[in-house]
């Protein structure tokens, strides 16, 4: 049986000499007339660009950037939403041997200044006047920044900003020549960490990292290249997020996906219904919101809700058996039962959600309740959990077919994953980054002399090699009694109840575990109406005795899954949703524990007083 080292060597042979740009040129040559990018016009109609049209635009923009002085080794900052133009701009920079990188669109002027200064960006491309304003406020503090380009017409009225249209002249670089400029060890991008434990670090991802990871991931899909070509995907997460970059941009190039850009993530539900994607990646909160929407709709029709829940209960053990043992393991009765339930209940829900043509539904970047994975798979949405981080170009482990809820799969082909003596997950492979930009000390902490990436996560393997993540090493709670407790596992259990949208577990150096609980804004109003409660505002519901009783019931049920020391003894219900890139959440919807502890210090202290 081939070892991880054998598979790595095989992938190395396959991708030898390849870069993102060379793979782009290959895809354009082979799939020139196939649709590559789709976007909505201002009139609401769909506009499509073929691979050839994508390449023509990228080559023309590359020529324009070259006239502005951008060349090999330069860095180009991108600040725009999910647009077809993003892909063009990113590729244009790569075709010059430059390094494009994205920053979160919610970044403050001070954050913009820090990131562009740290990256020594020579040029920046922004989408509109709003982004331009934030950049303009700190441009005087960015001596390295020589050129600013704006997509929105008229934004450069002061004469100091280059219009995007002016880059799209008649001249264009030669694709074949430009695609050969970049070398495998050149930087393809920088991914800046969310900065929850200090200033953001610039994760250096090379062309080799990208093409190697893409090849490993595609082996995980276990489909022929011709079966993957043209698969539909919606791009909606920030392009500063490695998962979105890897999925819709880099894999889009290598596997010739058809990418539909969704610039407003709040419109994702509409885009899913219109695009009917074959592949979808979402952080857990995205899948939780979709599930909450279904629950809210069912709450409005108690009879339909009862029948649907009965269908779920009947189908769940059959779906689980099919996942773990394969369809051939089902008896005729089981097969007929699952087909019947799918026809009368589940297929309709998938159709309404736009998930009826889904081949691979993927969740990652944070823990997800295992019950939610089971729910999706029961209704026929093949949800699986992937695990990784920016420092390994996105993925480390994934198993899309034989899924074990609660586990994040097995190591991807060519990737070695093991546990250090203290239980920390460590890994090596062609996907592991080369270090943090201008930060050798942090690089040395993350990469040891044998090339192992230290993830900072504590994990455990089962006897089949499936990995379960226990928690972040730095986030493990140590109670006043000296017990180690994983907050993420408890939070995931709490969020498995539809009424709870977010949860943060408290308890470090405290005598017991407590929790802050946020009502789900999609579920709570309908839940209240179905019970005849007069007010449906989250703030009012958070104080309502009936809501408190229901949350207490949920907490007690969640507690039954944990040992005595891990159980939540007290909780506080909050009536305001936590939003991405706030005091409570990072842009990728991870908890900002320090921010939560600071903002809700009085509520937390009240839980431990008296």
589, 237 contact by CB (below 8 A): no
What is the 3-state secondary structure of 304-317? HHHHHHHHHHHHHH
* Residue-level length of the chain: 610
In the numeric block, the tokens 């002249």 are attached to: 169
Which structural domains are found in the chain, ordered by start?
Answer: 476-608 (3.30.300.30)
User: What pLDDT band is residue 395 in, cutting at 50, 70 and 90?
Assistant: very high
Q: CB of 373 within 8 A of CB of 405?
A: yes
Q: What is the pLDDT of residue 489?
A: 84
The percentage of the chain sitting over the pLDDT mark of 90, rounded to a whole number, equals: 74
What's the 3-state SS for 122-143? Answer: CEEEECCHHHHHHHHHHHHHCC
* Per-residue model confidence as pLDDT tens digits over 40-71: 988 889 999 999 999 999 999 999 999 999 99
Distance of CA 560 to the CA centre of its chain: 31
Nearest to 459 by CA among 419, 431, 494: 419
Residue 482 has pLDDT above 80, yes or no: no
Question: What confidence score (pLDDT) does residue 156 get?
Answer: 47
Question: Which has more pLDDT, 223 or 335?
Answer: 335
Residue 465's CB: how many other CB atoms inside 10 A? Answer: 13
Q: Is the dihedral of CA 555, 559, 561, 567 positive or negative?
A: positive
Residue 28 binned pLDDT confidence (cut-offs 50, 70, 90): very high
How many H-runs (helices) and E-runs (strands) does the chain carry?
25, 24
The torsion region of residue 385 among left (phi > 0), alpha (psi -120 to 50) and beta comes to beta
Confidence grade of residue 115 (pLDDT, cut at 50, 70, 90): very high
pLDDT tens per residue, range 118-167 = 999 999 999 999 999 999 999 999 999 999 999 986 654 456 899 999 98
C-alpha 20/C-alpha 31 separation (Å) is 16
Confidence class of residue 455 from pLDDT cuts 50, 70 and 90?
Answer: very high
pLDDT, residue 238, reads 92
Look at the block and give the residue holding tokens 């990256």.
Answer: 119
């Amino acid at each position: 049986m081939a070892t991880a080292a054998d598979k790595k060597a095989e992938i190395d042979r396959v991708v030898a000499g390849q870069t993102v740009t060379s793979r782009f040129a290959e895809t354009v040559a082979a799939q020139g007339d196939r649709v590559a990018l789709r976007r909505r016009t201002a009139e609401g109609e769909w506009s499509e660009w073929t691979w050839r049209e994508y390449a023509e635009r990228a080559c023309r923009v590359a020529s324009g950037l070259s006239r502005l002085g951008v060349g090999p080794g330069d860095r180009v900052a991108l600040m725009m939403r999910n647009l077809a133009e993003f892909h063009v701009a990113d590729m244009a920079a790569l075709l010059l041997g430059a390094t494009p990188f994205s920053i979160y669109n919610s970044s403050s002027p001070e954050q913009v200044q820090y990131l562009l200064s740290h990256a020594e960006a020579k040029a920046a491309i922004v989408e509109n006047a709003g982004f331009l304003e934030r950049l303009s406020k700190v441009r005087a503090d960015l001596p390295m920044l020589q050129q600013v380009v704006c997509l929105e017409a008229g934004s450069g009225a002061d004469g100091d900003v280059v219009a995007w249209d002016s880059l799209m002249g008649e001249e264009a670089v030669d694709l074949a020549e430009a695609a050969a400029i970049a070398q495998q060890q050149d930087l393809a991008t920088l991914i800046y960490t969310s900065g929850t434990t200090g200033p953001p670090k610039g994760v250096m991802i090379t062309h080799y990292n990208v093409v190697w990871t893409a090849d490993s991931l595609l082996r995980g899909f276990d489909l022929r290249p011709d079966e993957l070509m043209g698969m539909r995907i919606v791009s909606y997460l920030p392009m500063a997020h490695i998962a979105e970059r890897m999925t819709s941009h880099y894999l889009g190039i290598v596997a010739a996906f058809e990418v539909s850009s969704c610039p407003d993530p709040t419109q994702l539900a509409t885009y899913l219904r219109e695009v009917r994607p074959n592949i979808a990646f979402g952080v857990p909160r995205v899948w939780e919101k979709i599930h909450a929407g279904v629950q809210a709709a069912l709450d409005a029709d108690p009879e339909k809700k009862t029948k649907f829940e009965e269908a779920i209960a009947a189908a769940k053990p059959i779906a689980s058996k099919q996942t773990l043992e394969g369809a051939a393991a089902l008896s005729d009765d089981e097969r007929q039962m699952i087909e019947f339930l799918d026809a009368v209940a589940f297929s309709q829900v998938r159709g309404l959600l736009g998930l009826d043509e889904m081949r691979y539904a993927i969740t990652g970047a944070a823990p997800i309740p295992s019950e939610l994975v089971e729910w999706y798979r029961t209704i026929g949405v093949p949800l699986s959990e992937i695990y990784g981080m920016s420092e390994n170009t996105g993925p480390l482990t994934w198993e899309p077919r034989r899924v074990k809820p609660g586990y994040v799969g097995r190591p991807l082909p060519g990737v070695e994953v093991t546990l250090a003596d203290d239980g920390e997950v460590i890994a090596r492979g062609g996907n592991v980054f080369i270090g943090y930009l201008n930060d050798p000390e942090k690089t040395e902490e993350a990469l040891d002399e044998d090339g192992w990436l230290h993830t900072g996560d504590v994990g455990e393997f089962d006897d089949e090699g499936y990995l379960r993540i226990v928690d972040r090493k730095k986030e493990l709670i140590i109670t006043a009694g000296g017990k180690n407790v994983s907050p993420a596992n408890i939070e995931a259990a709490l969020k498995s109840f539809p009424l709870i949208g977010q949860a943060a577990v408290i308890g470090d150096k405290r005598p017991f575990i407590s929790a802050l609980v946020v009502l789900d804004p999609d579920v709570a109003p309908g839940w209240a109406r179905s019970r005849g409660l007069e007010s449906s505002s989250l703030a009012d519901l958070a104080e309502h005795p009936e809501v408190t009783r229901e949350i207490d019931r949920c907490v007690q049920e969640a507690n039954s899954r944990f040992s005595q020391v891990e159980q939540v003894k007290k909780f506080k219900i909050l009536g305001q949703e936590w939003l991405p890139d706030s005091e409570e959440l990072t842009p990728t919807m991870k908890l900002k524990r320090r921010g939560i502890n600071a903002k809700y210090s009085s509520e937390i202290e009240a839980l431990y007083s008296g």
